[in-house]
Chains A and B, each alone.
Chain A
Amino acid sequence: MFPIHDLRGQTLGFGGRILPAMEARMVAAGLVHREKHGREHVIEFRGEPLRQVAGWVHEYERFWNEHLDRLESYFIEKRKRK
């Protein structure tokens, strides 16, 4: 969770402002979730939708899939030999 002024100013680089229209579209796309904590509005960035769209793969997603592929091949070949 990031205070909205942090996200606006530091990460998005919009000179200290995130635009309402932009934020609304990000909320609609499921990329951010907005909450009000007392006087402070906090938005949480959620990257999963973008990860799916962009096809990004976590290092360990690749790592484990490669190992499990090899394990599967090993046992398939072993059963064939029986």
Chain B
Amino acid sequence: MINTGDYKTMELNFQRTLPASPAEVYDAWLDPQNQGNPWYQSDRLDFKPKQGGLYHFMRVKDNGKEMPHYGRFVELTRPHRIQLAWMSLFTRGLESTVTVTFEAKGQDTLLTLKHANLPDDAYGNGHKHWDVLLEKLAAHFPAKRATG
């Protein structure tokens, strides 16, 4: 676990059962030609999966905004587990961690993805949303505000 000091962090968790073997899903997850992984159709891509190696990919959104991502392959254990260090605009300079595990369930695979060490202010547009939220909260108490 990365020490993020006083910075408040959060994690997101996802699970999907996929009709394939763990090895098939593992390989697909690291194949930039596969539509189901983050590197697919990157506008720029430096990606050679190797434990300890670095990667970079960038998408350019329709509005022209560039979304660069940088990171490191922390663990590549075929076909069970992939762990990546992951940094982008949305991690606010923190090194977040993406851990993907692949567990056989009969003929299927349970894919579990955990994205940890994300800054806990990143709800869509980040701080702006908190400001709007707190303004709305304050607006709920106008009478109390006047009399308190």
B129 touches A71 (CB 8 A): no
Question: Closest B-chain residue to A63, C-beta based?
Answer: B38
Distance to closest chain A CB from B41 (angstroms): 11
Q: Could you say which residues of chain A place their CB within 8 Å of the CB of B122?
A: 58-60
Question: Closest B-chain residue to A77, C-beta based?
Answer: B19
Chain B, interface residues (CB within 8 Å), range:
35 or more
Most buried by B among A54, A63, A64: A64
- Given the known interface contacts A13-B138, A68-B111, the answer about A22 and B148 at a Cβ–Cβ threshold of 8 Å is yes
State A20–B118 Cα separation when bound (angstroms).
32
Proximity string of chain A (26-69) to chain B, C-beta cutoff 8 Å, 1 when within and 0 when not: 10000100000000000000010011001011111101110110
State A76–B145 Cα separation when bound (angstroms).
56
- Given the known interface contacts A21-B144, A47-B130, A67-B36, the answer about A75 and B19 at a Cβ–Cβ threshold of 8 Å is yes
- Given the known interface contacts A20-B148, A21-B144, the answer about A71 and B133 at a Cβ–Cβ threshold of 8 Å is no
State A61–B122 Cα separation when bound (angstroms).
11
Distance to closest chain B CB from A24 (angstroms): 10
A60 touches B36 (CB 8 A): no
Q: Does B65 contact A (CB under 8 A)?
A: no
Question: Closest B-chain residue to A80, C-beta based?
Answer: B19
What are 30 A-B contacts defined by CB distance under 8 Å?
A12-B134, A12-B137, A19-B144, A19-B145, A19-B148, A20-B148, A21-B141, A21-B148, A47-B120, A51-B123, A56-B129, A58-B10, A60-B122, A63-B38, A64-B12, A64-B113, A67-B37, A67-B38, A68-B16, A68-B113, A71-B16, A71-B18, A71-B35, A74-B34, A75-B18, A75-B19, A75-B28, A75-B36, A78-B20, A79-B20
Shortest Cβ-Cβ A-B pairs, 7 listed: A71-B36, A19-B148, A70-B36, A79-B19, A75-B20, A56-B123, A70-B35
